[in-house]
Amino acid sequence: MSRIQIEGLTRRFGDVAAVDGISLDVADGEFLVLLGPSGCGKSTLLRMVAGLTAPTGGRILLDGRDITAVPPRERDIAMVFQSYALYPHLTVARNIGFPLRTRRRRDADARVAEVAAVLGLEELLDRRPRDLSGGQRQRVALGRALVRDPGAFLLDEPLSNLDATLRTATRAELGDLHRRLGSTFVYVTHDQVEAMTMATRIAVLDRGRLEQVGTPEEVYDAPASVFVAGFLGSPAIGLLPATLRREGGLLWASGEDVDVPLGPGDDPSGRDLRVGARPEHLRIGDASGGPRWRGTVRLVENLGGEEVAHVQVGGGRIPMRGPRPLGLAVGDPVALTCDADRIHLFSATSGRRLVRAPQPTRAAAAAAV
């Protein structure tokens, strides 16, 4: 196991900062997922840790040792590529054992047998990559990394070439492998499901910058920005414009057909906000004094065990997800509400999260005055 410290790492391509001053501390045995859309800098960041791309600023420490300028083969780090990068003319056994044979390790055959047993590849050792399925090729690529017994594993979207069913199965295998090995994993993906199901922590990137780092629960339940809130979740959270107003000592976020209590406070009125709730936290009902959205159903999607209703509220849309049937049809007027602690509030200017104590009802506030 190894600890990886990334301090102010930057990589520029001309005037473009692909990675812009990112700092991360990956603990021993952690499964850290770098999550973000294409072009956000996650693969570039991973390649700098591996030594395949030179940074233009910052440094990388491995167990306290500065490895920023150390050649890749001397970093005690193994990388698994999206394309598998297997040698087509070599058998599975020789592909897995290749890193050991280049170092003239005498225990290469025994080590290959151990790794093949861990990955369930014992019966495939004499085959060549063309005779393997996508999932089997991915396990061989993992085996080639695992055979070295490195301090850390770097995985660059290793499941993106697999079909949906195989991706789910291989995802479970990777999670189980990490638990058994206890090794440090840094995993790049644009797939939020992979991040949520495998990570001990998620680092969300956007346009070369770090938006938020936290456990899957933290980044989903308390997104630090509009970007994080919208990137995680399916369907994406519905955020609508609102304006801060004061009424009877309470603050409210109000917009066109939107009225959300925020609790007591002395913030000035007129501040522009973005307000919303996760689709699964919304429910049909017009709670007196609580969060309220009023609109018209524009689309209902059948997802099998669930339905998603897309509701036009003022000039925007919000999705609501729940068990099928929701009892809604296109054209129906509907009022939606949710628990006050499920509200997500962001600054319309900075896009950053605003945290306030929720006030459940107007009636309770009136009683307290």
Confidence at residue 367, expressed as pLDDT on a 0 to 100 scale: 34
Structure-block tokens of residue 124:
């495939």
Confidence at residue 276, expressed as pLDDT on a 0 to 100 scale: 92
Low pLDDT (below 70) residues in the chain: 1, 266-269, 356-369
155 DSSP 8-state letter = E
Confidence at residue 1, expressed as pLDDT on a 0 to 100 scale: 64
Strand, helix or coil at 195?
Answer: helix
Residue 131's identity, in one-letter code, is: D
Between the alpha carbon of residue 209 and those of residues 20, 34, 203, 310, the distances in Å are 5, 11, 10, 32
Between the alpha carbon of residue 28 and those of residues 45, 63, 179, 196, 262, the distances in Å are 19, 9, 13, 20, 40
Q: How far apart are alpha carbons 320 and 310 in whole angstroms?
A: 6
32 closest CA partner among 226, 189, 223, 221: 189
Confidence at residue 337, expressed as pLDDT on a 0 to 100 scale: 93
Confidence at residue 266, expressed as pLDDT on a 0 to 100 scale: 67
Confidence at residue 80, expressed as pLDDT on a 0 to 100 scale: 84
Domains and CATH numbers, the chain: 4-227 (3.40.50.300), 234-368 (2.40.50.140)
Q: What DSSP element (H or E) covers 111?
A: helix 108-119
Q: Sheet containing 65-66: which strands, arranged edge to edge?
A: 16-26, 4-13, 57-62, 65-66
Question: Residue 182: exposed, middle, or buried by beta-carbon count in 10 A (0-12, 13-18, 19+)?
Answer: exposed
Contact in structure between 320 and 192 (CB atoms under 8 Å): no
Confidence at residue 293, expressed as pLDDT on a 0 to 100 scale: 93
Question: Residue 181: exposed, middle, or buried by beta-carbon count in 10 A (0-12, 13-18, 19+)?
Answer: middle
pTM of the model: 0.85
Contact in structure between 158 and 193 (CB atoms under 8 Å): no
Contact in structure between 337 and 291 (CB atoms under 8 Å): yes
Confidence at residue 248, expressed as pLDDT on a 0 to 100 scale: 76
Confidence at residue 3, expressed as pLDDT on a 0 to 100 scale: 93
Confidence at residue 176, expressed as pLDDT on a 0 to 100 scale: 82
